[in-house]
Amino acid sequence: MRLLLAALLAAFGPALPAQQPFDTRGLPVDSTIVLVTAPTSGLQISDGSPAMKALRERLEKLSASTQADADDEPDMEKALRTELGIDTNDSQNAIAIGLKMEGPENITGVGILRVKVDPKRVDAYARKRGITPVTAGGRNGWNALTFLDALAQPKAGKVPVEPGPPSLGVFVLDNRTIAICDPKDAAACFASLEGKAPSFALNAAQKALVARTGRGYLFATVDFKRLPNEIVDAVGQKVDVVNLAAGEKGPLQCAELVGDFATAAQAKLSAQKLQGLLAAAPLLLAIDPAEPLDQQTMKKIAAELVAAIRPVKVEGKQASLALSIETAKAIAVADQAIGMIEKQAATPGAPTVKASGGKKKPVGTTTTK
């Protein structure tokens, strides 16, 4: 689902107050995998804060310098800004993604982008680039895959027509909402967005998890009970559901990962294995003065993160892992990582680690029906 997950480039953002739910309207009730964010306004990690603004500017500068050596990798974020007028740095941006999996190569779902957008400008761009129109659920939209191809080739003319019916459509519903889904599911998605049909919703335990992280800005869940057997078998762990939440609590960035297991014994065993890895981390991350400086830096960064992890907790069939790190320290760690990349990029003959300019690089998936 190229465009569905490439949507992350346009809409990374966190945080609603803990007492307010994440906006999951439009997502299928029976989603197997869910990822949702909320606006970052007022947070220390918002692009509006001086430290994060400086970090973003430094990363974008690095991205621009490495982009010159990577002509085969289009700057999707730049295309979204210049062609569609979508400000990818807007702290009001948010996304919601809900996926269903019937097999490793059979993934369907919905992506909702809550971004400031001009529907007329998007329509004009789609017509100029010859993107195939799509009508579904009483709405007009475009073939999502050809739309992505157009953004990926900003200097090209009209994009080639995708053969056969579109597997994904992109629909600009208003000046704050873009929906990406299979045209066959469009009517259900639109009804859900309008509150006329149910959507995925966080249960009581998930809401409590979000609240523990302070002002939550990220929530994700994977329901292994709904995954195909071949995927569950490959994972190996008898976990039923995994939930992740991240948020800001005072001067801290907090995250918690919770696994619900089929039995208390499996939860305890999983926790013991994970705690064993954490106990071994200081030895594995010990710095040898003879190591290359880049490797030493990577170990320092990893050690900072490991030090922020609290001991694994087990309560009945549930095992959880929590992390809290001072925001200033988290930004300093990110700064160290960027410095390492800058050094690699400036070293002749050294492998270059490409920077993303602040974009969130999504993992590609495939959609078949």
pLDDT attached to residue 352 = 47
Identify whether 288 is part of a domain.
yes
Rounded Cα gap, residues 11 and 217, in angstroms: 13
pLDDT attached to residue 20 = 47
Q: How many domains does the chain have?
A: 1
Domain of residue 61, residue span: 2-346
pLDDT attached to residue 348 = 60
* pLDDT tens, the chain, 369 aa long: 444 434 434 443 333 333 346 999 999 999 999 999 988 888 888 866 788 888 888 887 777 776 655 554 556 777 888 888 898 888 889 999 999 987 767 788 999 999 999 999 999 999 999 999 999 999 999 999 999 989 888 878 888 887 777 889 999 999 999 999 999 999 999 999 999 999 999 999 999 999 999 999 999 999 999 888 877 777 666 889 999 999 999 999 999 999 999 999 999 999 999 999 999 998 999 998 898 888 888 898 899 999 999 999 999 999 999 999 999 899 888 888 888 888 877 776 554 444 444 443 333 344 443
Identify whether 249 is part of a domain.
yes
Identify whether 159 is part of a domain.
yes
The three-state DSSP-derived secondary structure of the chain is: CHHHHHHHHCCCCCCCCCCCCCCCCCCCCCCCEEEEECCCCCCCCCCCCHHHHHHHHHHHHHHHHHHCCCCCCCCHHHHHHHHHCCCCCCCCCEEEEEEEEEECCEEEEEEEEECCCCHHHHHHHHHHHCCCEEEECCEEEEEHHHHHHHHHCCCCCCCCCCCCCCCCEEEEEECCEEEEECHHHHHHHHHHHCCCCCCCCCCHHHHHHHHHCCEEEEEEEEEHHHCCHHHHHHHCCCEEEEEEEEEEECCEEEEEEEEEECCHHHHHHHHHHHHHHHHHHHHHCCCCCCCCHHHHHHHHHHHHHHHCECCCEEECCEEEEEEEEEHHHHHHHHHHHHHHHHHHHHCCCCCCCCCCCCCCCCCCCCCCC
pLDDT attached to residue 354 = 47
pLDDT attached to residue 360 = 38
Identify whether 50 is part of a domain.
yes
Identify whether 363 is part of a domain.
no
pLDDT attached to residue 185 = 94
Identify whether 358 is part of a domain.
no
153-156 — which CB contacts under 8 Å span 24+ positions? 153/74, 154/74, 154/78, 154/79, 154/82, 154/83
Identify whether 356 is part of a domain.
no
pLDDT attached to residue 212 = 95
Identify whether 185 is part of a domain.
yes
**Cα torsion through 345, 348, 351, 357, rounded to 10:** 20
Q: What is the pTM of this model?
A: 0.82
Count of C-beta atoms within a 10 Å radius of residue 28: 23
Rounded Cα gap, residues 52 and 251, in angstroms: 14
pLDDT attached to residue 266 = 92
pLDDT attached to residue 236 = 65
